């Protein structure tokens, strides 16, 4: 739990750092990278995120589909007995019930793509409360039935290094676990400014920061603890360890011979699975579909808006074939979970550029001009690319030998990989600052002087030392800056 708490704390701090630009200037990840990478160079981080959003959306749909399959089984017990041989090809690593659940989850999620991101608050609030109640009910039930927790909760670490190197090896193991905790959330950490940009006042910005840190640290750690306790209690009840919630929920409805139990158990499991599937759906829409839509809109703004991009991301789930990724390509999923090797240097560049190089000052009009100050050399800030490569070059070797399970490789490769997030972030942060000292940019620390897009309230404009537009001063509201025309020649 200490590793989880430390990891979640670091995630909360870095998520706030990345989201700060969006809170202040109302621009998301897509636009923010234009002043760091250049108008054309910004496609490099965008393409990375689009790929990740496509694949994680597909995997999340598969996970949600398994929960939906549990819901259907709770209502129609015969659903679990569907014959696979007449429904799917023999080489498909999935059952017919899983494929049906995947389709239902995918299909019923599509209408929610029409909800604008700025209106996510109410449905998210209802879903979070429902899921929280379901989680606590599952915890109480498992402890009441098991009358305690199973041995997995008390099992000590199985790694036993030699006494002379025990402290050193244990430290590296903990660093590896912390790095893995951060790596699984690295893609979501880059999404911060995509949603923080909707804060319309300093008070809302403060609420966003408090909410982000509280949820990532407090709620995230609590959910992990509840999951561990429920798994340990279920081990005492069923004699097996169920780490995957859909598998445990399905087992809760079954007798020892595999038949479905009473209607009371089915009703309870149905409402639990429904709450978890709704949570998985909204998390997927917000963290993957909408984020993918924003990135696609940034790449092809003339043809794709956020909603169209989210729909494209959702349909790409069938192309990605998550049943192949989850059930067969375990190495590929491991690489995805370790993608922080490439994202950490990206965040290092973003953070250094915004806080140290530009000193939190952005000229918004240049973000939409092909010949503005952020166009750099042919649309590319040449400083960013070599620094980004230098950030992941020392750790990508460790990623390779870890994925290939080459245990006899040099230890430094593993050690650098175990701290890949911190190492990549620091290398890119420091190098980007040094390169900009040696080859300084022109026209730094400039702003428009006027709220040219009407994006800020009067109070915000004054804090940024901008002259508010007359219409904004009367209305006291702000415009979403990413709805303005894309670029001008």
CA distance 146 to 234: 7
Joined tokens for residue 452: 């040219």
Question: pLDDT (tens digit, 9 = 90+) per residue, 400-413?
Answer: 888 777 777 788 88
Q: How many CB atoms lie within 10 A of CB 233?
A: 24
- In the DSSP assignment, the letter for residue 362 is -
Average of per-residue pLDDT across 452-474: 78
- pLDDT band with cut points at 50, 70 and 90 for residue 481: low
According to DSSP, the residues that pair with 276 across neighbouring strands are: none
- pTM comes to 0.87
Question: pLDDT (tens digit, 9 = 90+) per residue, 384-393?
Answer: 999 999 999 9
Phi and psi angles of residue 250, each rounded to the nearest 5 degrees, phi first: -65, -40
Question: Residues near 474 by Cβ (< 8 Å), separated by ≥ 6?
Answer: none
Residue indicated by tokens 């498992």: 142
Continuous H helices in 408-452: 411-418, 420-438
Question: pLDDT (tens digit, 9 = 90+) per residue, 206-250?
Answer: 888 998 888 888 888 899 889 989 999 998 888 888 888 999 999
Question: pLDDT (tens digit, 9 = 90+) per residue, 109-166?
Answer: 999 999 888 788 888 889 999 999 999 999 999 999 988 877 776 766 555 554 445 4
**In whole angstroms, what separates CA 27 from the centre of its chain?**
18
Question: pLDDT (tens digit, 9 = 90+) per residue, 418-446?
Answer: 899 999 999 999 999 999 999 998 878 88
> Structural domains in the chain?
2-327 (1.10.4160.10)
- pLDDT band with cut points at 50, 70 and 90 for residue 94: confident
Give the mean pLDDT of the chain.
85
pLDDT at 482: 56
Max CA distance (Å), the chain: 74
Helix, coil or strand: residue 257: coil
């Amino acid at each position: 739990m200490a590793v989880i708490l430390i990891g979640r704390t670091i995630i909360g701090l870095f998520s706030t750092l990345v989201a700060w630009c969006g809170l202040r200037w109302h621009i998301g990840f897509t636009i923010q990278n234009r002043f760091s990478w250049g108008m054309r160079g910004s496609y490099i981080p965008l393409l990375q995120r689009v790929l990740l959003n496509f694949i994680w959306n597909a995997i999340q749909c598969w996970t949600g589909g398994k929960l939906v399959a549990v819901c259907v089984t709770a209502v129609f017990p015969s659903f679990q007995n569907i014959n696979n041989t007449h429904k799917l090809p023999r080489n498909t690593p999935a059952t017919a019930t899983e494929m049906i659940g995947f389709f239902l989850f995918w299909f019923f999620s599509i209408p929610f793509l029409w909800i604008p991101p700025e209106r996510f608050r109410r449905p998210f609030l209802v879903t979070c409360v429902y899921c929280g109640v379901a989680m606590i009910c599952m915890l109480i039930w498992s402890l009441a039935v098991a009358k305690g927790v199973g041995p997995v909760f008390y099992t000590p670490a199985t790694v036993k290094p030699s006494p002379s190197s025990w402290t050193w090896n244990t430290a590296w193991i903990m660093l590896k676990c912390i790095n893995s905790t951060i790596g699984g959330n690295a893609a979501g950490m880059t999404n911060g400014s995509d949603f923080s940009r909707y804060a319309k006042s300093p008070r809302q910005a403060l609420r966003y920061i408090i909410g982000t840190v509280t949820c990532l640290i407090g709620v995230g750690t609590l959910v992990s603890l509840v999951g561990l306790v429920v798994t340990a209690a279920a081990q005492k009840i069923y004699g097996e360890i169920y780490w995957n919630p859909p598998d445990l929920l399905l087992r809760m409805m079954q007798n020892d011979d595999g038949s479905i139990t009473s209607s009371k158990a089915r009703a309870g499991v149905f409402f639990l699975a429904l709450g978890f599937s709704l949570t998985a759906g909204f998390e997927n829409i917000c963290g993957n579909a909408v984020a993918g839509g924003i990135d696609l809109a940034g790449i092809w703004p003339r043809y794709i808006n956020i909603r169209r991009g989210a729909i494209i991301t959702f349909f790409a789930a069938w192309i990605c074939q998550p049943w192949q990724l989850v059930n067969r390509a375990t190495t590929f999923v491991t690489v995805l979970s370790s993608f922080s090797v490439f994202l950490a240097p990206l965040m290092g560049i973003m953070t250094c550029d915004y806080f140290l190089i530009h000193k939190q000052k952005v000229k918004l009009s240049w973000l939409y001009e092909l010949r503005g100050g952020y166009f750099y050399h042919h649309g590319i800030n040449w400083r960013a690319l070599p620094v980004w490569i230098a950030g992941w070059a020392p750790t990508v070797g460790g990623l390779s030998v870890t994925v290939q399970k080459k245990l006899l490789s040099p230890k430094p490769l593993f050690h650098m990989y175990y701290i890949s997030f911190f190492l990549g972030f620091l290398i890119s942060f420091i190098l980007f600052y040094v390169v900009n000292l040696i080859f300084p940019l022109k026209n730094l620390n400039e702003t428009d002087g006027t709220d040219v897009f009407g994006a800020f309230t009067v109070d915000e404009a004054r804090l940024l030392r901008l002259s508010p537009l007359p219409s904004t001063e009367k209305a006291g509201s702000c415009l979403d800056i990413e709805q303005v025309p894309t670029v001008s020649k």
